[in-house]
Amino acid sequence: MPKTPIRFTLNGAETGVFANSGANLLDVLRREAGDLTPKQGCAQGGCGACSVMIDGELHLACLTLAETAEGRRIDTVASLETGARLHPLQKAFAEGFAAQCGFCSPGMIMAAKALLDTTPNPTREQVAEAISGNLCRCTGYEPIINAILTAAAELRGRGAA
């Protein structure tokens, strides 16, 4: 199978891989770049478990042709923590029972991050809209929405400090 060289910045690090031609970005991140945080759920855009940021914008890695990632900045949930210190979203998910099996969490948290990057003080409705492309089969969503609102409040507090 022909391989295509692709370079991108993954979570701040210059990364180069050889991808199968026609592979999606999720496969390349997991198999070639070794970042196992984005998950494969449905491989058709319906579940959001593979959500990552491309140049700061939320995208579905499973529907992104790997070749189109050339030269772009890709951030997965692995970009959020600094050493052992969790990001407020990760902390709020862990403490607020917003993660049960955890499979949706990496995508859910990136969808939440995309919202908070532009809307630091969202309404409950805006949070529900922001995660509307992400399925969770454990929590019933309420703890997730609460966790995102908690993290938003903490991030606003930091900004003020």
Partner 1 sequence: MSITVETYPTLREAASAMRDGTRFLGGGTMVVRGLNFGAQTYDRVVRSTDAALRDIRSDGTGLHIGAGVTMAQIMQTASTDFLAPVARAVGGPAVRNMATVGGNLFARAPYGDFGTALLALDATVQMADGQSLAIETFYAHRAGSRGLVAAVTVPRPASGAFRFAKITRTRPKGASLLCIAAHLPGGTRISGARLAFGAMGPTPLRAKEAEAALDGAALDPAGIQRALDTCLNGLDPQDDALASAWYRRAVAPVHLRRLLLGEET
Ligand X SMILES: Cc1cc2nc3c(=O)[nH]c(=O)nc-3n(C[C@H](O)[C@H](O)[C@H](O)COP(=O)(O)OP(=O)(O)OC[C@H]3O[C@@H](n4cnc5c(N)ncnc54)[C@H](O)[C@@H]3O)c2cc1C
Chain residues that interact with partner 1, rule: CB under 8 A? 1-2, 4, 20-22, 24, 43-45, 48, 51, 57-60, 62-65, 67-68, 111, 114-115, 128-130, 132-134
- Closest residue to ligand X, based on beta-carbon distance: 45
* For ligand X, the closer CB: 68 or 121: 68
CA distances from 64 to 1, 52, 101 (A): 19, 10, 26
CA dihedral 31, 33, 34, 38 (to 10 degrees): -80
**Least Cβ distance, residue 20 to partner 1 (angstroms):** 8
Rounded distance, CA 21 to CA 108, Å? 29
Q: Which of residues 46-85 bind ligand X (CB under 6 A)?
A: 46
Shortest Å, Cβ 85 to partner 1:
27
At a CB cut-off of 8 Å and minimum separation 6, what does 13 contact?
Answer: none
Distance between CA atoms of residues 44 and 148, nearest Å = 26
Which partner from the list ligand X, partner 1, none does 2 bind, CB cut-off 5 to 8 Å by kind?
partner 1
